[in-house]
């Protein structure tokens, strides 16, 4: 294996949590999450030459991964997941409270619009409004307003699932 490829795969291994979280936020079934994860890795690899160490690997990875997720459409339906259908929780996930809460969170997130998911993702990764705006290409004010709306919507969705705030 070439050095560059080896170095890339090591970095991916270190930061695979980002890919996992984004895939889970953007796709509802395991198969689709796997497809998206593979697509993200492919896009990261294809644009790896553009990564010039100007930012940290994770910052660059956030952008490429989210940009890929934003335009990734399911193979069969090729439409954003904004339907009312919520998949059932896998039994093993429901086995402990934390996993159950996480599953409820990801279920609720499925009903958000694609940009709202990106906003929530950056927010949970502790990005400031300015940084969110910079990464998404919108103004800081716009990022703040849209994020607040997305948070309110997410709270409502979780509440509807019986997990009130």
Partner 1 sequence: MAFDDLQSLWNSDKSDDSIAIPANLEKLKSASLPVDNVRKQLKKEFFVQLVAMIVIGFVPSMLTFNAYLVFPFYLMYFIFLLIGGYFFAKLYLFYKNISNTALTSKDNLFAVYYDIKLSIELYKAFTYCLLPFMVVFMGMIIANDKNISPNAMLNHSATITRTQVLTILGLLLLTILLLATMTELYVNAIYGKSAKQIKKLLEEFKEA
Q: How far apart (Å, rounded) are the C-alpha atoms in residues 135 and 10?
A: 25
Rg (CA), the chain: 16
Q: How far is the CB of 85 from partner 1 (least distance, A)?
A: 19
Considering only residues 65 through 124, tell me which ones interact with partner 1, judged by CB under 8 A. Answer: 66-68, 70-75, 78-80, 98-99, 101-102, 104-105, 113-116, 118, 124
Burial, 135: exposed, middle or buried (Cβ in 10 Å; 0-12, 13-18, 19+)? middle
Take residue 2 and report the two structure tokens written for it: 């070439």
* Binding flag, residue 137, partner 1 (CB under 8 A): yes
Query: By rule CB under 8 A, what string of x and - marks binding of each residue 26-45 to partner 1?
Result: ----x--xxx-xxx-xxx-x
- Chain-centre distance of CA 94, in angstroms? 21
* Binding flag, residue 9, partner 1 (CB under 8 A): yes
User: Taking a C-beta distance cutoff of 8 angstroms, is the pair 109, 25 a contact?
Assistant: yes
Count residues contacting partner 1 (CB under 8 A)? 70
Instruction: Map tokens 């090729």 to a residue.
Output: 78
Report the residue from 53, 84, 88, 164 that binds partner 1 according to the rule CB under 8 A: 164
User: Taking a C-beta distance cutoff of 8 angstroms, is the pair 41, 12 a contact?
Assistant: yes
Which spans of this chain sit near partner 1 (rule: CB under 8 A)? 1, 5, 8-9, 12-13, 16-17, 19-21, 23, 30, 33-35, 37-39, 41-43, 45-47, 50-51, 60, 63-64, 66-68, 70-75, 78-80, 98-99, 101-102, 104-105, 113-116, 118, 124, 134-139, 142, 145-146, 149, 151, 155, 158, 163-165
């Amino acid at each position: 294996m070439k050095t560059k490829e080896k170095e890339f795969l090591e970095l991916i291994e270190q930061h695979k949590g980002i890919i996992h979280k984004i895939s889970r936020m953007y796709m509802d079934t395991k198969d689709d999450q796997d497809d998206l994860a593979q697509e993200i890795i492919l896009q990261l690899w294809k644009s790896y030459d553009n990564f010039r160490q100007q930012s940290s690997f994770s910052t660059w990875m956030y952008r490429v991964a989210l940009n890929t997720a934003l335009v990734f459409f399911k193979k069969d339906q090729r439409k954003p997941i904004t339907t009312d259908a919520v998949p059932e929780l896998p039994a093993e996930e429901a086995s402990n409270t934390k996993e159950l809460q996480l599953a409820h969170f990801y279920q609720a997130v499925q009903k958000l619009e694609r940009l709202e998911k990106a906003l929530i993702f950056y927010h949970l990764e502790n990005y400031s409004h300015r940084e969110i705006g910079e990464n998404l290409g919108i103004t800081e004010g716009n990022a703040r307003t849209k994020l607040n709306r997305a948070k309110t919507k997410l709270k409502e969705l979780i509440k509807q699932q019986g997990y009130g705030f």
